[in-house]
Structure 1
């Protein structure tokens, strides 16, 4: 005669076989399963323990129990791929350099690819990894993570093949894959709070619309303003996408109209801040006398800009090191690898005016 807990186990396996429960899906709660099968909580927990022992499910404290992605065994190639949006500009070279140290010390070689932040290129690269089966793991910087992405199933396919993935800088919310990034909301809030502390109340913002980092940094900006009881005004916010970032100077008319009457501006990152500094200088807008500017990342652009500007530091060396360590953990079979979000630190320069008479 089938035991009660075995009925629960059999039902869950049957739902998976029928396709009603898929990899990554969350199981009904313990209380729901209790009522459904008219059994005790202890019986449900025993059933869940059996499923976890068989590596069919995985429980996450405070979240629930999920159908596990079951990886096939594969022969190691001793190669790890790093797929970034861009490789030779901005903060990416230092991130990759730190990854390479960790990965090469473990005996792996690094294979580097760039998507140029294009979904089509990301798809092509992922398909080549799947076809060639030539890597043991993938560290991937997400491509336009703020908008729907048709390539998510390819990441899942890699995981099912036994090729684990770690995301860096941002992540796809639809996938239960660990990521290593800056705490972007905290960074957005930090620079906004600094401007508030310096007496600014009319603070504009420029954020990227097509990646998750832009959304998170905007959320921090909004939170700081709301906590200061300052109304968030849509007309003072400029949303740009990756392509528009390159043409910011050509779009200076729209940008200047939006930030008119503001005394300060929070910029999505140092690249945006650097371009805004250039626009202001061309238009005779003094920094910080007429407009205070703050960026995020504390890159060379912030330090060596014609007017060096305040920025929230992104600990990119640590980010690269941690990402390298995390992918090695996953390759070695550690299924408990958690996401890491690193804390920013404010680096102050002379781009922010202190307003004494408000």
Structure 2
């Protein structure tokens, strides 16, 4: 079945074949085409964009669209910058690879920048984008979105320059910019609810305090406990920052003190869960007999850990694909960028014990 925008293209091609449209002629306006074919403005724009890519038409800002077959030089390839906190660890390679695949298939160039989750590096990268005026769109992972960020005005400046922006994994609540991410609150609720369903009542939580994902996953943890009429105990919640994750196994005293008396632990992500498995092995704490551990993201760490652990799946390939497709659609004028939060899926392994209360 022919798509609506293809009907518009077919009509214009027919007019060219019959000689009713010739080189240099102006096409009917978008409004006229919309009424003629009973389609949306978005559909008309997609048809005109396809014809322009094929060098059959040329649009002139403020004037309209003209027949100009084969006279234009090839347009430069559009460049999309992808800025992530890290590029070659954890779930980030899968996200970047999927974004790159979609962009390449559509003829876009990919420019990768890495902030190393440092506000200063993020600032430098954004200033370069503004100074060089070299990018047509930006897909950005936020840097420490759980704390005040001095770089927000640079994002606003890029928007003022006409560069569309889309955040991935998290977002800055102070900016009205869409994001594509896991539904982090639901992920936190889901993993906590699973522990409750398995009979656990004293559930510790380890959450990252310097990014928004940590706050959302903590909120889900609280939701599940409160729905079960279980008191949220502050002494059983551990807040860590990005740098402290690396040091968890060597500096485990604070963690062990907080989880004392708990039968299970919700971990901010699989990286934290993997560190917790290491701490337990060092201290002779059996998993899941003494402590059940659960993560979020279902990364390779959850599958290939010394003790594979249950985790809430983060559909990172879908995240990358949707982010790239939305950015392409926005640049080509087909669609607007919208916020999408993807549903987690619980992937169960052998790290959670079922407790039968008598």
Give the aligned partner of residue 252 of structure 1.
252
Secondary structure of the corresponding residue to residue 230 of structure 2: coil
Structure 2 matches for 1:220-235, cutoff 5 A? Answer: 220-235=220-235
Give CA-to-partner distance per residue, 1:220-268, whole Å, 9 cap, x none. Answer: 0000000000000000000000011111112200000000000000000
Give CA-to-partner distance per residue, 1:168-209, whole Å, 9 cap, x none. Answer: 000001111110000000000000000000000000000000
**Aligned: 1:195 with 2:195:** yes
Give CA-to-partner distance per residue, 1:46-88, whole Å, 9 cap, x none. Answer: xxxxxxxxxxxxxxxxxxxxxxxxxx99x96511110000000
Structure 2 matches for 1:178-189, cutoff 5 A? Answer: 178-189=178-189
User: What is the alpha-carbon root mean square deviation over aligned residues?
Assistant: 1.5
CA distance in 1: counterparts of 2:334 and 2:151, whole angstroms: 25
**Aligned: 1:95 with 2:83:** no
Report deviation, 1:334: 5.4
CA distance in 2: counterparts of 1:289 and 1:348, whole angstroms: 16
Structure 2 matches for 1:29-44, cutoff 5 A? Answer: none
CA distance in 2: counterparts of 1:77 and 1:104, whole angstroms: 10
Give the aligned partner of residue 107 of structure 1.
107
Give CA-to-partner distance per residue, 1:25-64, whole Å, 9 cap, x none. Answer: xxxxxxxxxxxxxxxxxxxxxxxxxxxxxxxxxxxxxxxx
CA distance in 2: counterparts of 1:334 and 1:225, whole angstroms: 43
Give the aligned partner of residue 296 of structure 1.
296
Q: Which runs of 5+ in 2 are unaligned?
A: 1-60, 63-74
Secondary structure of the corresponding residue to residue 229 of structure 2: coil
Q: Which runs of 5+ in 1 are unaligned?
A: 1-71
- Whether contact under 8 Å (1:76, 1:136) holds in the other structure is no
- Whether contact under 8 Å (1:77, 1:136) holds in the other structure is no
- Whether contact under 8 Å (2:326, 2:335) holds in the other structure is no
CA distance in 2: counterparts of 1:104 and 1:77, whole angstroms: 10
Give the aligned partner of residue 56 of structure 2.
none
- Whether contact under 8 Å (2:129, 2:135) holds in the other structure is yes
Structure 2 matches for 1:2-41, cutoff 5 A? Answer: none
Secondary structure of the corresponding residue to residue 180 of structure 1: strand
Structure 2 matches for 1:45-84, cutoff 5 A? Answer: 78-84=78-84
Give CA-to-partner distance per residue, 1:273-319, whole Å, 9 cap, x none. Answer: 00000000000000000000000000000000000000000000000
- Whether contact under 8 Å (2:190, 2:312) holds in the other structure is yes
- Whether contact under 8 Å (1:79, 1:109) holds in the other structure is yes
Q: Which aligned segments of 4 or more residues in structure 1 are displaced greater than 2 angstroms?
A: 332-337
Aligned residue pairs: how many?
A: 286
CA distance in 1: counterparts of 2:131 and 2:76, whole angstroms: 15
CA distance in 2: counterparts of 1:344 and 1:160, whole angstroms: 35
TM normalised by structure 1 equals 0.78
Secondary structure of the corresponding residue to residue 276 of structure 1: helix
Pair member with larger Rg? 2
